[in-house]
Amino acid sequence: MFSTTRRRVLDGLNRRYIYGRLPLLHTIIFMIEMAATARLAAKFNSYYAEKPVLTTMVTNAILGGVADTVAQLITAFRARTGVRRGDDFIAIEIHDLEKEKPPAVGELGHAKHTPPPFDFERLIRFMSYGFFMAPIQFQWFGFLSRTFPLAKKNPTFSALKRVACDQLLFAPFGLVCFFSYMTIAEGGGKRALTRKFQDVYLPTLKANFVLWPAVQVLNFRVVPIQFQIPFVSSVGIAWTAYLSLTNSAEEE
């Protein structure tokens, strides 16, 4: 009974749009995540002082969720704006009148063009990946800080050493972890994992080298160490959204 009611509520929210473009359910989830982010940001220093690793894990999880929600919003928005206005109106009206019997694939443009519903399992995968990856990042950033301390005379050179080490060693490793985790969490086996790496790993790594060196120079040179992972995660909202779109596109 409860699951049926919940399904009906979610189905109803998935069919509602703000200004005919933004899916209501996606937007609600995004606002909840942003409220959680604001709450965490307000008390980050006190949380970090008591439990730095756990605070980093929770921060990564929330920001990973924000990133995937943004990616799902983009996907839904693209699908929604691809529907012609006339077809869109008819599809909604028919669907409301015949909830028990939705149109067949391609009929009146309904199943063919309707944006996908919000994928909660995918959201959980991204949040859990950020959560479990955070301790590794925490140790890695500590290692870089100890190995390449910022010299008073030329701190930029030390920061560049950190960036070079980070991009040549951790970036390829991080992408291996990401695609492996996502593929396995989606139920894929060895064949799916091999295909994923053949199709998207190198293009994604190249995109990484375009964005992250400049970000990490600023991060290692200016940002205090306790804020470095949150800073990366914040900038990484756009990056993780890109990864989410890349990963989901490969599934399709």
What does the pLDDT look like over 186-218, one tens digit per residue? Answer: 998 899 999 989 988 999 899 899 989 999 999
Report if residue 1 sits inside a domain. Answer: no
Q: Which residue has the higher pLDDT, 93 or 34?
A: 34
The yes-or-no verdict on residue 222 having pLDDT over 70 is yes
Q: Per the domain annotation, does 101 fall within a domain? A: no
* 25: its two tokens: 């359910």
pTM beyond 0.85: no
Residue 123's pLDDT is 95
Question: Is residue 219 in a domain?
Answer: yes
Task: Kindly state whether residue 13 falls inside one of the protein's structural domains.
Answer: yes
- Whole-angstrom Cα distance, residue 240 to residue 65? 9
Assigned domain for 57 exists? yes
Residue type (1 letter), 26? H
Report pLDDT for 126: 92
DSSP annotation of 65 reads H
Over the chain, what is the mean pLDDT?
A: 82
- The pLDDT of residue 241 is above 80: no
Q: How much is the average pLDDT of 94-106? A: 38
Lowest mean pLDDT among 32-46, 124-138, 225-239: 225-239
The whole-number pLDDT of residue 249 equals 62
Q: Give dist(CA 73, CA 116) in Å, integer.
A: 10
Alpha helical stretches, state H, the chain: 2-14, 24-42, 44-50, 52-81, 85-97, 110-113, 120-147, 155-165, 171-185, 190-196, 202-222, 225-251
| Per-residue buried b or exposed e for 69-107, using 16+ beta carbons within 10 Å of the residue's own CB | bbbbbebbbeebeebeeeebeebbeebeeeeeeebeeee
pLDDT at residue 85, rounded to an integer: 38
CA distance 30 to 25: 9
Please check whether residue 133 lies inside any domain of the structure. yes
Split into its structural domains, the chain has a count of 1
41-65 as b/e, with b when 16 or more CB fall inside 10 Å?
eeebeebbeeeeeebbbbbbbbbbb
pLDDT at 90 over 90: no
Range of the domain at 30: 7-84+115-247
Average pLDDT of the residues in 71-76: 87
**pLDDT for 21 beyond 90:** no
Question: Residue 234 is which amino acid?
Answer: S
User: Is 222 among the domain residues?
Assistant: yes
Burial of 221 (0-12, 13-18, 19+ CB in 10 A): middle
Domain assignment of residue 107, yes or no = no
Question: What integer is the mean pLDDT of 229-250?
Answer: 77
What's the rounded mean pLDDT across residues 60-67?
Answer: 92
Q: Is 152 helix (H, G, I), strand (E, B) or coil?
A: coil
- Answer with the residue of higher pLDDT: 245 or 178: 178
Average of per-residue pLDDT across 97-126? 61
Mean pLDDT across the stretch 58-85? 83
